[in-house]
Structure 1
C-alpha cells in the first residue's frame, strides 16, 4: 500500500508506461508527472522485465536476515513464556541474551502481554469481532445490592448505615431488614460496542423479554438491524417467551457453552466497566440516585468515552449514522 504522499499509484505507473510506450521520452514524462527520472526509469524497467505484476508494490522485507535470533532460541523463549510466565528481564539471563531481544521475540509471536494468554494453558487467546453492527448483540444481567435511603456502609459508619436499612424497608428476614437487589440488564453490539442498559427489579423471563424489545428499539434508532443475540444459559433466556420475542423479529438466538462466560466476553467486560465507572465510582445516597446516574454514564460511554478496542474512538464512531447526529 503506497504512503499517503506517493506520487505514483498503480494507476499512475500504468499511465507512465503507456506514455513511454507511445514513444515519448522518459525524461519528459517524468517531468509531467512530477517524479524523478530515476523513478520513471525504475518502473519502466520493472514493467519490461515482469509485465503488469511488476507495477505493484513489493514487500520491503529483506531476502535474508543474517542477524535474526535463531529459531531454536525463539522457541525456547516462547516455551519459558508459556510454561513459567516469565518476562524479558528473567528470560534474558536464563538464555544469556539481552532482554530487549526477548521482548522483540515475544512481541513478534504475540506473547508480550500476559493478559493475551490463557494462564493455565499458555495459549494465545483468540479474539474475534463481528464485521458490521447488528451481526451479533451480547446480552447479560448483572446483580447489584440495593442502597438504603440515606446511604449505605460505603459512605458512612456501619451503625448509621444499619439504621438507614431499618428505616428504608419493613421487610424482615430473620430479624434483619431486607433491602434486596437490582438487576442491570445490558445489551452491547459486538462490532461497535454500542451499549444499552436498564436497572430492573428482577431477572424473570417477562422482564428479560420486555428489556430486549426496548433494547432492539434503541439499536434500530441508531440504524442497527440486529441479526443474532448471544446470551448465557440463564432460565429467563432459556424460556419460550424470550425465544419467541426474538424470533418474532427474525433474530436468531445463540447461547454460550455452559460455564464458559468468555464466549460472551464483551458484555462481561462491559459489566465490569459499569461497576468501576458507574456503580462504584462514587458513593450514592440512595438506590434511585444510582439508577438515575446510569443514563449519563451510558451517554458518555457511547458518544464520548474512548474505547481501547476501537483505536481510542467511542462506540458511536462505528455506527452507520453520519457524524454529528448526536448531542
Structure 2
C-alpha cells in the first residue's frame, strides 16, 4: 500500500503536472516527503520508491564479529569433543570480560544456523524435578552397553549421587553380575561414605524382591543383603518408567555422546581409562544447569553428607562400612581430628560395620554379625583401645 501511494504521488507530479505542494495536500503527506519521493524517483526510478528499513545503519550494541566467530568455533569444538555445546556451556568457556549473555549466544547460534529447532520438546516449565536434599542422601545406579573397537560388547556400571550429580563410580566389565554390583558399590563407599538410600531399576543384579514376587523361601541377593546389613533404604523405580532414574539415564546419554567422539577402545582396560577421563571432566569441569551452573564436585562438597542410621540401645547410631588395615586398626574422625581405633590384628583386612553415637562406637564383624569391639573415645588421645570385647549377635538391634 505504501509503495502504491508513493508511486501515485510521483506520477501525479511528473505526468499530470501537479505541483509538489498540491500533490502533498491531495495525498495527505508533507511537502518535504513529496520532494523526497520525487528526488528518489529521479535518482533510481520507480523501484526507489519502495519502503526502506528504519533500522539504523550501525548498532553500537552488536556483538563484535570476532566474538561471534569465537562462539561458533567453540560450538564446533565442543561437538567434536562430544561435550555439551549449548549456550551455557559456551558461556562458561568465554573470557569473562568479553562474553555476552547466554540469550545473546543462543541468538548468534540460531542466526548462524547452528541450532536445529526441536518443537517436539516439552517446555522446561513443565518439568517436575526431584532432587535429594543432601549429598549421599540417595545414590542412583544403572548399567549400559558399549562396544569395543572389534564390536565386543561391554557393560558400564555407574553410581551417581542424586543431590549433586557427582559420579562416585564408573567402570566397564564384560558383564554386570550381582557381585560386581556389590564390589563397585563398596569401592564407591570406601571413597565417599555410605548413602542413606539407593535407587535402581528392578534388574535381578539389584533386587529379587520385585522380580516375579519373592516367595517365603527366596533369599535376598547379595546387594539387597548388604543394604539390609547397613540399614540403607533400597528404592526401586516402577517397571516401564525409566524416568524415575532420569539422572542416571541422562548421565549415560552424556557418556555415550562423549565416547563417540573418542578413538574406539581396543580393550576393556583402554575403555576404563576413557571412563576415568570422562569422570574427571564430568565431576570437575562440566558445569550443570540443574545445580546452578556448578560442577558436581562443587555441589557434592559444599554441604555435609547424609548417612544411614541404626536404632540400638534406644539411640540412633550413624553407620559406617569400613575395612580393618593390616595393623588391625581403623580411623574415625571425631571432633575434627582423626582417631585410630584398635580392632586387633586377628581382624586385619576384614570388612566391618562401625556404629557411632557421639563418643561411643561399636565395631561389628560384617560376616558373622558379632560385636567385636566397643569404644568410648577419649578426645585427648590419638589411639583408642577397646573398652571391652563382647560377642553379641546383631539380633539385639532394632531397625
TM-score (norm 1): 0.49
Name whichever structure is richer in helix by fraction.
1
Q: Which has the higher contact order (CA 8 A, sep 6+)?
A: 1
Please identify the structure whose Cα radius of gyration is greater. 2
Structure 2-normalised TM-score? 0.40
